[in-house]
Amino acid sequence: MPEPFRVALSGDFKKADGSPTYPDFDLAPLKNAPGVEMAFLDSTNPLRADQLEDFDALILLAHRFAADSVPKSGRLAAVARFGVGYDTVDVPACSKAGIALVITPDGVRRPVAVSIITLILALTGKLLIKDGLTREAAAGFARRSDHMGMGLVGRTLGSIGIGNIGAEMFRMAKPFDMKFIAHDPFADRKVAAELGIELVPLEEVFRSSDIVSVSCPLSPETHHLVNADRLALMKPTAFFINTARGPIVDQKALTKVLQERRIAGAGLDVLEQEPPDSDDPILKLDNVILAPHALCWTDQCFAGNGAADVKAVLDVQHGREPRGIVNRDVLNHPDWQRRIADFARRFGG
């Protein structure tokens, strides 16, 4: 019998009482896979290297995987993130060690795009305001004419990024008959053309859009990409939406713009600090809709992320390249190639 392929799951996949944090993550395909052993790690953040010495793959939820998390054994071949954000993972450390970092674009594409559409409709329809009016009974109904929403036909929807999620947002927004513009230095121009998206400079997205949505990853280059100068370009009737990562936005600058009513409102599923301090001024504003970095969290989203991670680690087990590798330079790393060849020999390609 060959030595089993061992898969670790970060400890935050289990609650303190041992029950699963997310029951929609179906582990049966992993438990029943021939030649696979799986185990939950102790809940430490960041993960410690000694926890991972005897594992071939890791499925990682929210805990950090730092440079000090890389095991000395050289056995770990893949870190599969539960989602598409990977700012909690030291990517250069993974690449240096020949460890593939894998994300789950298929699991989040539709759920996050749905979240953006949800915020677009809630903001332009003034949903929360009208909910409040209704709860005031006759007094609220008497003021409903003061809160007209904004129709979408002919308006401009602008996106920072048209990758996996940004492109899906535009697909879903097609029936709204809006004009589509976007900025993305890495854009697939064929996809942009197919979706009717005009690629424009970054400042033009802020200047011309009636709704600006952020769909780019957090990196040193995108930190505070949305700043005071760019927010100042927005129309006073425009809305701002961020479902990507909080630090992409200078939140103090956005808060000031909202406090001064220089834009119509914002929808934020992410904040610069999570969770925020209880006295954070953005929490007191009535022209922003907030969610706790969980708007896309549905049974289907978590089932999809889990299925994608399980498929990724099983692909690695059989010596196949998994979908969604972030650090593709790792494919030429001798340690990665050695491990994959060994897995293929032991478990079949």
Q: Is 168 a catalytic residue?
A: no
Sheet holding 36-40, edge to edge: 36-40, 5-9, 57-60, 78-81, 100-102
Name the catalytic one among 64, 224, 262, 293: 293
Which one from 183, 245, 333, 339 is the annotated catalytic residue?
245
Closest CA to 58 of 114, 132, 7, 2: 7
Pairing of strands 211-214, 239-242: parallel
Which one, of 28, 77, 83, lies nearest residue 56 by Cα?
Answer: 77
Q: In what order do the strands lie in the sheet with 239-242?
A: 197-199, 179-183, 156-160, 211-214, 239-242, 265-268, 288-290
The answer to whether the peptide bond before residue 105 is cis (omega within 30 degrees of 0) is: no
3-state secondary structure of 243: coil
Answer yes or no: 274 catalytic.
Answer: yes
| Cis bond upstream, residue 275 (ω within 30) | yes
Which residue in the list 3, 53, 194, 274 is annotated as catalytic?
274
> Active-site residue numbers?
245, 274, 293
